[in-house]
Amino acid sequence: MRVHAYAAPAAGQPLAPTTIERRDVGPNDVLIEITHAGICHSDIHTVNGDWGPQPFPVVPGHEIVGVVTAVGTEVGTEVGTHRVGDRVGVGCMVNSCGHCANCRNGDEQYCLNGMVGTYAATDRDGSTTQGGYSTHVVVDAGFVLRVPEGIDSAAAAPLLCAGITTYSPLRHWGAGPGKRVAVVGLGGLGHMGVKLAHAMGAEVTVLSQSLKKQEDGLRLGADAYFATSDPDTFTELAGRFDLIVNTVSAPIDVDAYLSLLAVGGALVNVGAPAEPLSLNVFSLIGGRRSYAGSMIGGIAETQEMLDFCAEHGIGAEVEVIPADRVNEAYERVLASDVRYRFVIDAATLR
């Protein structure tokens, strides 16, 4: 099946309309007519070749929401599986081995045999995956999520990456009542981190480059908001947080942020800059602190996050754009000028 898409032809090149081939619907597959695709900063890192060599052309997009239009013969018809007409989502991965210890544990994103990314990855049939800036996608049913009623499709799309990427570490490190959580960077991931940590009952602080978005941050659920450009922030907040989730797409001064952790606290990097980061081990030793990383979340956890969002009335704050504005949206994300996720209206790809 040939479908319309937007692709980057080579590293750093603007995206342009194209057509791509989608595989036939196999026995375990679901064909999805895409309605919305979020723009994640990882799409931009990929298109710009920040993370090293990879195949081009690439159709980015791993925050996909759409409607099921066909299912394979082995995809069950009982409630809980995917049926024609269902509203569904696809995130950052479309397959994994299914039998390694991590897959069996529900951590498909850490598959020991390598999970298959939604784009720029080698699929199990040897083809290169292409993502959600497209009208249709065919995905293994086990990697398709149910979008609960009550969340608007455009607001749901970013949950598939920005939502789960912040939900998973917040849950893992126990964000909840009595915990002080800081979110560094109020972009796509950061604004979801604030909403989710607040809904979990934690006391939430935003650490942003400036106070420009303070009003928004407080409206999204933050209890406090500080500018990291102000050196007083780091003295005032020293030793304060149980958990800091760093969503910044560029390198940070790790030691400065570690100094904001209470004894036993953790600084968790979800931001994925190309450059290596360094730290002074005394920043850890001096407070039994941890510096960790986290990548998206497993499939069951992603469903749990979607259900949590529906229960708490949470969606992303989005600016829906036609596909021909994707390059402009990339420029604005790079300039930290996003409030708080661009989402492509896939109908404009046709």
Q: Are 41 and 192 in contact (CB under 8 A)?
A: no
At 46, the amino acid letter reads T
Of residues 161 and 305, the one with the C-beta less far from Zn ion = 161
Q: Does 270 bind Zn ion (CB under 5 A)?
A: no
Backbone φ and ψ for 167, nearest 5 degrees, come out as: -60, -45
Interface with ligand NAP (CB under 6 A), residue total: 30
Q: What is the DSSP letter of 165?
A: H
Q: Does 95 bind Zn ion (CB under 5 A)?
A: no
Q: Can you say whether residue 85 is alpha, beta or left, with left for phi > 0 and alpha for psi between -120 and 50 degrees?
A: left
Decide which of Zn ion, ligand NAP, none touches 338; Cβ closer than 5 to 8 Å per partner kind.
ligand NAP
Q: What is the DSSP letter of 170?
A: H
Q: Of all residues in this chain, which one has the CB nearest to ligand NAP in the complex?
A: 187
Of residues 134 and 228, the one with the C-beta less far from ligand NAP = 228
Decide which of Zn ion, ligand NAP, none touches 248; Cβ closer than 5 to 8 Å per partner kind.
ligand NAP
Of residues 1 and 250, the one with the C-beta less far from ligand NAP = 250
Backbone φ and ψ for 210, nearest 5 degrees, come out as: -140, 180
Q: Does 296 bind ligand NAP (CB under 6 A)?
A: yes
| Shortest Å distance, C-beta 109 to ligand NAP | 8
Q: What is the DSSP letter of 324?
A: G
Round to whole Å and give the CA distance between 349 and 344.
9
Q: How far is CA 60 from CA 5, 37, 57, 74, 169, in A?
A: 9, 9, 10, 29, 24
Positions 30 through 59 that interact with ligand NAP (CB under 6 A): 40-42, 45
Q: Which of 40, 182, 266, 349 binds Zn ion (CB under 5 A)?
A: 40
Round to whole Å and give the CA distance between 196 and 165.
11
Q: Does 247 bind ligand NAP (CB under 6 A)?
A: yes
Q: Does 170 bind ligand NAP (CB under 6 A)?
A: no
Q: Does 208 bind ligand NAP (CB under 6 A)?
A: yes
| Shortest Å distance, C-beta 40 to Zn ion | 3
Q: Are 324 and 167 in contact (CB under 8 A)?
A: no
- To the nearest 10°, the Cα dihedral for 258, 260, 265, 269? -50
Positions 249 through 268 that interact with ligand NAP (CB under 6 A): 249-250
| Shortest Å distance, C-beta 38 to Zn ion | 8
Q: Which of 30, 161, 170, 267 binds ligand NAP (CB under 6 A)?
A: 161
At 295, the amino acid letter reads M
Q: Of all residues in this chain, which one has the CB nearest to Zn ion in the complex?
A: 40
Decide which of ligand NAP, Zn ion, none touches 45; Cβ closer than 5 to 8 Å per partner kind.
ligand NAP
Of residues 61 and 138, the one with the C-beta less far from ligand NAP = 61
Closest CA to 318 of 292, 343, 281, 285: 343
Helical residues (DSSP H) of the chain, grouped into ranges: 41-47, 101-104, 153-156, 162-172, 188-199, 214-220, 231-236, 254-258, 282-285, 299-311, 326-334
Positions 148 through 207 that interact with Zn ion (CB under 5 A): 161
Q: Are 192 and 247 in contact (CB under 8 A)?
A: no
Of residues 29 and 108, the one with the C-beta less far from ligand NAP = 108
Decide which of ligand NAP, Zn ion, none touches 208; Cβ closer than 5 to 8 Å per partner kind.
ligand NAP
Q: Which stretch binds ligand NAP (CB under 6 A): 66-74, 129-137, 188-196, 312-320?
A: 188-196
Chain residues in the site for Zn ion (CB under 5 A): 40, 42, 161
Residues that bind ligand NAP (CB under 6 A): 40-42, 45, 161-162, 165, 185-190, 208-209, 213, 247-250, 270-273, 294-296, 333, 336, 338
